[in-house]
Amino acid sequence: MEAMYNLLNRRSVRKYTQQQVPDELLDQVLEAGLFAPTGMNTQNIYMVAVRDKETRDQMMRMNAAVMGRDGDPFYGAPCVIVVLGDASGYPVVENGSLVLGNLMNAAHAVGLGSCWIHRAKQMFETQEGKALLRKWGLKESLVGVGNCILGYPDEEPAARPRLDGRIVRIG
Ligand SMILES: Cc1cc2nc3c(=O)[nH]c(=O)nc-3n(C[C@H](O)[C@H](O)[C@H](O)COP(=O)(O)O)c2cc1C
């Protein structure tokens, strides 16, 4: 029942306090990501947890640049987990999306806020993105799937209404 509660009550959080995510919570969230299923058990998904402010702000600028904007697409969250996939394995979007889902649900379960922030693919196609991958000791051919921002929520958003007519039951 607790799992059901968490699944139904997780929301995308877009306002955060400045308090950093501590190791013990970050470790639990990352472990949940590791245990997401992967097609044919390829385990071809990588997570890079960034709390270093300089790197976080660099990625913030890279993400905003994809949209041709300034500003903070990470909504002030102090921690960002970039999810990337090795495209030589099983399709990365499917596997990476399940990892992102686990990260967001686990974040909610341990009292953190989270939100999927898109455009990781474009961020890591740039020379700047590839340089970051090299610096992190990863293959520069990895493909960005999504960014999971994390932090302590400074808002409690209500669920957006779910559209009707999206479930078909046969029998
Ligand atoms: C593939 C994907 C990409 C998303 N990209 C963004 C994004 O770039 N910025 C953002 O604020 N929210 C983003 N979101 C969050 C959605 O807007 C959010 O999940 C949706 O409005 C439903 O709200 P809920 O997560 O609270 O249920 C993304 C979600 C998904 C699944």
Q: Is 166 in the pocket of ligand 1 (CB under 6 A)?
A: no
pLDDT of residue 27: 98
Confidence bin at 149 (pLDDT 50/70/90): very high
Cβ 75 vs Cβ 149: under 8 Å? yes
- Average pLDDT of the segment spanning 52-56: 98
Lookup: tokens for 15: 């306002």
Taking CA atoms only, the protein residue closest to ligand 1 atom 11 is: 117
Taking CA atoms only, the protein residue closest to ligand 1 atom 26 is: 11
User: How much is the pTM?
Assistant: 0.97
Cβ 45 vs Cβ 85: under 8 Å? yes
Taking CA atoms only, the protein residue closest to ligand 1 atom 31 is: 116
- Average pLDDT of the segment spanning 62-90: 96
Ligand 1, residue 75: give the atom nearest the CA: 11
Q: Is 118 in the pocket of ligand 1 (CB under 6 A)?
A: yes
Lookup: tokens for 140: 């520069």
- For the chain, the average pLDDT equals 97
Q: Is 162 in the pocket of ligand 1 (CB under 6 A)?
A: no
Closest CA to 12 of 155, 167, 146, 163: 155
pLDDT digit string, tens, across residues 89-110: 789 999 999 999 999 999 999 9
